[in-house]
Every structure is written in C-alpha cells, then in structure tokens.
Structure 1
C-alpha cells in the first residue's frame, strides 16, 4: 500500500526536481518506508512513489519500477492478492522476474495481456504505467474503487495522485472549491464517491472499474472495464450447495489476503463480518497445509471501546477468548476526538463524519508494529446487514403485487430481529396485515390498503432550507436501472446493488482508506473479492435475509466455526460515533464556537445565520438531535478552511 503521483506537462515547462519532491512527499503518510522518482529523458513526464513495504521488503521491489528494457515504468498503490498464481502462469510463458513483489507481476501482465490484464487481477489497486517508447500513460482503478485516484487536467498539464491534498501543493494551480458539488455532498452524502466529481474545480476522480489513457498529443480517454452486472453467474440450485460455494470462496478470499511479508492484524468489532474473518483466518492457520507468504504473526485483533449503548466489548471478548488472539482494546472518548480533530479533517479531506473509532484503532495498530488490517468492509452492503435495507423492502408503497406482499411477512421477521422490542411506528401498521397474511387471505382490499398506506410521515426539517444552491442527484446517477440483469433482481438485491456500488460502501471505503493510510496501515477486505460479489448478486434475497436473520448465508457458513453468541446475535451497532452523547456536553463548546465563526457564518454554500439560530435553540430546548443536524456543515466548513488557508504547506 502506497501513495502515487505523476505529472505530464504537455504544453508547459517541466517543474523542478524540488517542486516534484514536495508533491511526492505530500503522500509520505501513505508510504513511510521509502520513496522513488522516475523522470522521462525526452518529455516533461515524472512519476513518483511513496512506499509502504508489504511484499518483498528488499530494494528489488522499490518503485517506480521498470520492465522490458525500461520501456514500462509503474507507480502502484494496492495489492494483487493472486500474484503468485499469475506469476506462475507468466513464468510458464517465458517471463522472468527479479523481485518477489506483486508490482513486477502487474508490469509483466500488462506487457503480455495489455489492458485485459485488469481482469486477471484479484485485488485492490490504482496504478499508473508509463510507456517510455510511445510516451503514453495508462491509469487503472480496481473494480469497486477500494483505492482512491484523482487527476487534474487543463490541456496544459495532467497531474494524478492518490489524494486530492497533493494538488494544493502544486504551484500556481489556483484551486477552488466547487460549491455545487459541496452542496451535493451535503444533501446527498456519499453521492460523489461513485462518480468522477470531487469537491474541487477541475479535479476529478477515476471512477471504480475504469481506466484512463493519455497520449502525447494530449488526448485523454476514459473507459469502463468492469461492470458487475455483466459478470453474474448461475448459482447452485439448493441452499446447502449455495452455502458451500460461498464458504469456499470466502475462505480463499481470506487466504490470499493473508499473503504478506509483515505481520497481520484485524479490526474486530464483535459483529458478524469481522468475527467471520477472524474465525476463518484461524481455520486456515490450523490446517496442516503449507501456504506461501503467510506470516507467523497473524492473530492480533484491535477493538474500539465506545460508550454504552454502542459498546460491543462482550462480543469482541467472546471472540478473543475463543480464538486466543493477541488482543488490543482501545477506549474512545471525546477528549481524543477534540485533540485529533484538525488532523483527522486534514487527512480525510472530503465530507464525512469524523471516524474517531477507526482513526484511533489504526493509529494504535501502527504503534504496535502492524501495517495490515484484514477487515469486514462490504459485508453489510453485500449481504443485507443494515436496518434501512430491510425497511426499504418493507416499504408498503412498493407492494403492488401478490408476490411482493408475501415479502412483507418474511422481511418483517428480519427487521423485528434487528430492532428487538423497539419496532418503529411505521412498521406497526403492518402487524394486522401479517395476521391476515398468515391465514392466506390475500384480497384486493389488502392490496389497495398497501398502496394507500404511507410508510412514515416525514416532516420537512429545517435543514432542507439551509442550502443556498439547488442541486439534483439525477445528473450523477449511474445508468444501471435499465440493465436487464438489474431489472431481474428482487427488491432487496436491487437495494444491496445500489448500496454496494453507489451508496454507503464507496463512502465507507473512502473514509477508512484515509484514516488507515494516515497512519501507514493497509486495509484488506475479503468481502470485496470480486468472485464473492458476483456470486452474491446472482443469488435471491432469501439467502441473504431469511428466518429472522440478516446475512443468512454467512451465518450458516460459519456454523461450528465461531461462538454461537456472536454467530446468532441479531442486533446491529457498528463503529459509529456516539453523537447524541457527545453533543450534549463534550462537543458543545466546539460546536457553538464553529457556528459563530466568520468562515462558517458567511458561507456562500449554506445559511450560517439559520443554522446558528437552529442549533442555539436546540441547546435551549435540549433537542440534541437538531444539534446533530449541523455536524456535517461544521466538518465541511473546517475542511474548506484548512485547505484554503494552505497553512499545512508551510
């Protein structure tokens, strides 16, 4: 895992060595173990790299790396987990290797298969390959956008980097925030992450599953190479075969993500996803087989201890005791949050909720000597772990057929298990319908009732009038709704597909990449293995939410492999900030000071006066949920203040 940067001055004088050094070292946190620079001899192109040493710790794996008599040069961030298998295939074709790294395998693969090599890779990546003969640049981003990649292009110069903060270090670039995109990010959280848009004017992101080519004449082309809907498969017929195939893929996904020349750790919450990973890694290490490149130190777990009712210590401790892991528990409090706030905002650089739990976990990992964390990201979006996903299926406004009405009964059992006794009001009206459905008394009267019933009465919140710019999310939506495979999905799978590719997951991946890489820690996610993804989107909803459980197939696959108290727990907590408790007291001064600042109050994006009055009234009325509404605006204000001031440059 590393930081990459490059610049191609097409119609502009080349920058100096010292200026490029600054750009490379702006990503030092992503690669604290070394640095490298390549400069083309005939055109003003430069390639830079900051190294986090994971595979082949020797200088043989240093980047930028060359191949084929120095024709191809690469700067690479990520991991190709199946590099051992690809290398063996290439060696059988006559290719030679000087290092034991996955980087060299990418170069040889590109030489042999061209852009089609992307389909060979099982991993997470962004890389830039420079063809020194044709003076052509190739940039690639992995299927699901696990690793970030941004670029700036103004017809005179092309700059790419792992993070947008690098562009602020470029002299005379005159960066400005795109107020319309900031508004979209505030109104539709997570929307921008799956698009090519960023918060900055003229700065774009390479979309997940896309690649770019830039030729010497300045022609820039962007192409899509991966669409999950085009790679679905025919799953096994019966349930047990489905579960068996899933487990085989999951075990292998964990296995190849354990390949490393440095020690491994896991962020263990006590939830189903992270616990399944720890349990499966334990099974792998207890096998008598000899696996290549798996370190002896592999069973460290790190857990964030949040205040009640967000604390999952009991379940995490169950896992620690059962598998005898080398455990580290990290208490989270508001003092740490306030002390780290400016640093976290600087590193995350985009709109988000400050992930203090994740930040402190990866900070502690690095202090304890770990540079890899194998985590459970993607499980909720892939297998249906969130409350809102089941709620949306239960949205009775969608129940316009007999088949869909039957879903109401099965999905209600799942949502009730998630909430326990505190079933939300908008589900109570369906209880008498369930009684009728049990008796199989389906009638037009029921259908008519369902069509008329409102899921919930949503009052217009003041927040809707805070923004000064009117925006729509329609112009940024991916055109997947009309795809024939998507149309064949059941309601739950449609929701999961949206959340996985265009909803919560891209936003989560961005946040956790930034807060882990700020400390030089690489996150690996078995649930994001493309073989598992294509399998699960080929399966019906009842294998995901069934018999009162979310993640049904994962729970069945983990039977007899982990403590039952964890495998069968039904509540969902997650690594969220306990905002209600924080805003009541500990963050009160911070919030009031920020909404009173000139930068916030006079914002061209939101109505600072309205927000200030709303928050102050909330504190007077002890209505703390209304205070929380202002939190994302405060974070946005501070991020823009930090970067426009450019104090970090000096």
Structure 2
C-alpha cells in the first residue's frame, strides 16, 4: 500500500524542496495511483502516493493529527498495513484519544503520541512510516520487524531525504548534492550474494533503514538508528506429550493471522503454487472469502511449472484459479522494466514469473496473500538439514578438520565426498552464507579483477552470526536468513514486483504473533522424519489437501540454464554484454567466455551469468541512461 517521500531540511528552508518532492513523486505512482498529496512547514516536506485499501473515502495522507490543545501537532506518511488496528484503536480510545478516520494509519500516529518510539512494538503488520513532530521538531522513521516494506534515506548538508523507493531520491540528488557514485563494496556484495544486503544500496550516498529498526533525526542533526526487533529462537525441548499442543498453537496463530490479513475494503485474492505455504494461506483465506480467487504462473517447458499441482490444490479447496504461462520472449522483454522497479538489481530469475502473475492478479483484485517467510520461520530449506549430516565432523579436532579440507581441494571435481569433506572442514560461519551465492572469490576474480577478499559474504554475515552464537545450528541458519536472504531477496521482490502493478501483497507468515510461536519450535521439530518444516506440516494436516502436505519445495522454477544455452536467451545475453558500458567493473571478455562455456556444456554458469546480466541491465538504466525501461509512470503528470 502506497509510497512515501519526504525531506527534512537542515536549515529551515524546506519550502525550497517542495518542487523537488513534486518532481520525484510521480516516479512511484505505481505504488499509489489512487491519489497523491503533499504537506510542508519550515522544516519538513512530505509527499505521498496512495493505494486505497482501508477507509477508502478518508485516511488521506500526509495525515495530520494532534491531541487536545495541540491540533495537527503531527504529520505522518505511512506505507503498509496495520492488521490489529481495530484492537489498537479500541485500546487508545479507552485511554481517552479521539480519531478522525476509521483507517489503520491513524492508529500509528495516535499510538506514537501515547507510547512514543515503543509504538512499533504494538503494531502487527507491515510498515515503513515517517512522523514529524512539529512541537519537538523531531522526525521519527520506522520499518516493520522483518523488512516487508522498504525505506531509503540520504543525508547531505541540505538535509535528509527518505522514500519508499530509491528512484525518488535519485530524482532529488542534484538538488540535495547526493553522492551518486557506485559503492564498490556493495557491488561486490551483490555479485557474491545476488542481492545488495541492507543497509547498503549500489549508490554510495543512499542507504536503507534496516528491518526492525527505528530512527530519529532533527534538523541539521545525524540520523540515529535503534534496533527494536531481535529474534531469539530460544533453545528448548518439547515434551512428547505436548507436541500436539505446539502444533495446535501454530495452526491457531496462522489462522488468526490470515483472518487479520483479510481485513480490507477491497477484494483480496491469494497466490497459489504447489507447496504447503501458499496452499495453507489460500485454504485459510477461503474460510473468510468463499469467492476467493487464486493465481499461479509457470512455463511451457516440462519440469518448470507447478501449474498442474496448483490447479489440483485449487480444486481441492474450492476456489476459482487463474493461470499465467510466461514465454521466453515475454521474459526477456520484461527484464528492463523489472530492474527499474527494483531500484537495485536482484539476480533472482523468479522475479519475472512473479511480475507476470502479479500483472494478471491486478486485473481481478487489489490485494493478494502469499506464503513468503514460512521457510525462514519454520525451517523449510533443505540446506537446514546440513548440520545433521556434518555432525560427525564436530567431534574431529580442528587441525585434522582443516587437513580434510586441504585434501578435498586435490580430489577431482565431481568425485563423491569432495564437497562433504570441504564443507565439513569449515565452521558454520565459514560455510553458510544464506540461501544464495552466485560467485566464490576465485570465480569473482575472473570477472571482477579489482575484487577484494575482505568484501566477501563474511563481511555481511559475521555481525549477524555474532548475535546467534547461543542458538542451535538450525536456528543460527534461520537467524542469518532472516537478516540476509529474506530481506535482501524474498521481500524485495515481494514488495517491488507486486507494487509495480499497484498490487498489495500481504504475507501472513511474517506476523508478530506467528513468529512468537515459530521461534519456540525446537530444531528436532523443524528438521524431522526426513522432511523440513515438520511442525508446520503437522499443524496443517487437517487444513491443506493431502497431496500438498509432504511435497518438496519447488517455488517458481525458471528454465534459465536451458534458455541461456539455447536460442531463447543466448543472443539476448550476447547483446547485453557487448552493449554494456561496465568495462570498469567487469572483465567483459571473461563474461563472454563464461557464456560460451555455458552454451557448450563446459560448465553450468547460469546463476553467475544471470547475476552479471541483471547488473548490466540495471547499469544501462540508472547509470548509462542507455536503456529505456518503457515505464509509463514516468509520463504521469504531477497532479498534486
């Protein structure tokens, strides 16, 4: 829901930046095409694009509110949804406060007046918001615990700009004097991990407020961040007799979350793949909307689609189901648009089918539910089984383990046991970097000669691992993914790609109350009985169709390996490499060699190639200005 943009002046001349806000705001009209507005005083300028979901006739933003005797003390812009706003509103009314709207946004600003910065601990939802206190002359920024909704910022001598989308700040860069040089450390992190990790962005002068954080800034002052959300995953066992009680708690929490996530004054649909996560959400949503529509996508190539399984699930739960099949030509044509919407590249091929299924869904609904977050909360990735297979290595003295690692290096590629010896020789901090890694350092040096080894994945993961040293091995992996893969890839594409079509995506698994239950699950009920997400599967036994309950995770598989080697995308990839003006970043002859090796079957370079190609398209749009992404929103008039 919506897009916010604002500026806090360092010298009381905020009105001078009103034109900058008005110029930048249409860049994200896709986030809120229903209406727009601005507000300013001497210190602050707020701009807003609204996607109307709750309290359609009111709840206009920027929203003004104040307690008795101080009318309009606060100005707020808010992106997201607060699902417990009905309960919070009642609590605050009982405390003596009055409301001017029936929407969810006003509960935030009233709650801020009542609880101060602790308001974020009371909110159950997804959010990025800014509140300007005209009495205290302080700006308060906040993001939801998991980072579902984005918030970028940039600070210069002129002041601090903040926005839901980086491209809006780019539009203001010249007026503010923002450093738009590329951050080479962030580039290396991207190439290593296939996404730009928080709080970085590829532009040196623009950063992101981290998930689960708040920040305060006063005119001319520094932005000070505070973390309010720290996952615990407390180590504990569940007595055999009480396991079912845990499964029941999971089911109740998820059912309650879906009920709250269905709150809207517009139609809510649901994405539906062939897995347990989206099927559980859709099944529970059907209880609250008998006419629920579900949506899925796939490809014509065999083995790269869950369309048939999703259709079977839709029939089993009794919902109308809509399918979008994506062709290679559609895939290639959409890439420039997708990179523009993303702000920074994410080298995840599933972005493209998501783009098309979101486009199809928006023809029918304004809000969709989805299953993101279930794997991170409940232990769903197959890699989470690794601590079990590597447990024997933990008993081997460290020098001997290191020796086994050296031995693995001289064994022939593809030899059975080579990978096991190599990974068993390392600590978790060394071997596990999250759910995606495109290049190791040696591979990176081939295409980025200037790469520095101290800027590898451990530069990102070490501080996160330091916070989880007392957790069990599976919980440590979950903890790392919450702060890397999930917020860097999963939630970026969930927000940016759906909002590209003015479609609000809601994720009931990433709910405060669901997490309270999920973080108490012991590791032997996450990875158990030869499967992942064991506790969740047990909790859903009476809810999801039987054919889905124990299916392996597939997600949105994309035939990228075949397409880059074949006529579908090989020529397109050649053209991108030849045209890209990234010679100061990549050794383009090495990239072309990789493409030819991939085509000839020498090695599967598909993930690495896609990482480089996605960056080249992004660079062509935002740096070279060579590629026109063909975004109609750029032509929208300023209608404030």
TM-score, normalised via structure 2 length: 0.86
Per the TM alignment, residue 472 of structure 1 is displaced from its structure 2 partner at its CA by 3.2
Whole-angstrom CA distance in 2 between matches of 1:267 and 1:100: 28
Matches within 5 A, 1:491-640: 491-569=473-551, 571-583=552-564, 584-600=566-582, 602=583, 604-619=584-599, 621-623=600-602, 625-640=604-619
Give the structure 2 partner of residue 182 of structure 1.
Answer: 187
Give the structure 2 partner of residue 248 of structure 1.
Answer: 252
Matches within 5 A, 1:115-194: 115-170=117-172, 171-172=174-175, 173=177, 175-190=180-195, 192-193=196-197
Whole-angstrom CA distance in 1 between matches of 2:332 and 2:308: 27
Give the structure 2 partner of residue 23 of structure 1.
Answer: 24
Per the TM alignment, residue 15 of structure 1 is displaced from its structure 2 partner at its CA by 3.0
Count of residue pairs brought into register by the alignment:
587
Matches within 5 A, 1:217-256: 217-229=220-232, 237=239, 238-256=242-260
- With over 3 angstroms needed to count, the CA separation of the structure-2 counterparts of 1:246 and 1:44, relative to structure 1, is same
Per the TM alignment, residue 553 of structure 1 is displaced from its structure 2 partner at its CA by 1.2
1:233–1:535: 8 Å Cα contact kept in structure 2?
Answer: no
Unaligned runs of 5+ in 2: 398-413, 433-438, 636-640
- With over 3 angstroms needed to count, the CA separation of the structure-2 counterparts of 1:84 and 1:504, relative to structure 1, is closer
2:441–2:456: 8 Å Cα contact kept in structure 1?
Answer: no
- With over 3 angstroms needed to count, the CA separation of the structure-2 counterparts of 1:176 and 1:488, relative to structure 1, is closer
Matched, 1:319 2:319: no
Matched, 1:394 2:389: yes
Whole-angstrom CA distance in 2 between matches of 1:239 and 1:627: 43
Secondary structure at 2:39's aligned position in 1?
A: strand
Whole-angstrom CA distance in 1 between matches of 2:589 and 2:493: 30
- With over 3 angstroms needed to count, the CA separation of the structure-2 counterparts of 1:301 and 1:624, relative to structure 1, is farther
Secondary structure at 1:344's aligned position in 2?
A: helix
Give the structure 1 partner of residue 217 of structure 2.
Answer: 214
- State the Cα deviation string for residues 513-570 of structure 1 (Å, max 9, x = none): 110011111111111112222322222112112112211112111213222111122x
Whole-angstrom CA distance in 2 between matches of 1:459 and 1:233: 32
Matches within 5 A, 1:55-454: 55-58=54-57, 60-68=58-66, 69-170=71-172, 171-172=174-175, 173=177, 175-190=180-195, 192-193=196-197, 195-229=198-232, 237=239, 238-282=242-286, 284-285=287-288, 299-306=292-299, 307-352=301-346, 353-354=348-349, 355-368=351-364, 370-395=365-390, 398-400=393-395
- With over 3 angstroms needed to count, the CA separation of the structure-2 counterparts of 1:597 and 1:269, relative to structure 1, is same
2:465–2:480: 8 Å Cα contact kept in structure 1?
Answer: no
Give the structure 1 partner of residue 35 of structure 2.
Answer: 34
- With over 3 angstroms needed to count, the CA separation of the structure-2 counterparts of 1:426 and 1:545, relative to structure 1, is farther
2:11–2:219: 8 Å Cα contact kept in structure 1?
Answer: no
Unaligned runs of 5+ in 1: 286-295, 403-423, 431-446
Matched, 1:49 2:27: no
Residues 503-512 or 557-566, more deviating? 503-512
Residues 82-91 or 541-550, more deviating? 541-550
Per the TM alignment, residue 504 of structure 1 is displaced from its structure 2 partner at its CA by 4.0
1:38–1:47: 8 Å Cα contact kept in structure 2?
Answer: yes
- With over 3 angstroms needed to count, the CA separation of the structure-2 counterparts of 1:107 and 1:450, relative to structure 1, is closer
Whole-angstrom CA distance in 2 between matches of 1:35 and 1:362: 23
Secondary structure at 2:283's aligned position in 1?
A: helix
Matched, 1:479 2:463: yes
Whole-angstrom CA distance in 2 between matches of 1:612 and 1:429: 28
Give the alignment's Cα RMSD to 1 decimal. 2.9
Whole-angstrom CA distance in 1 between matches of 2:17 and 2:214: 28
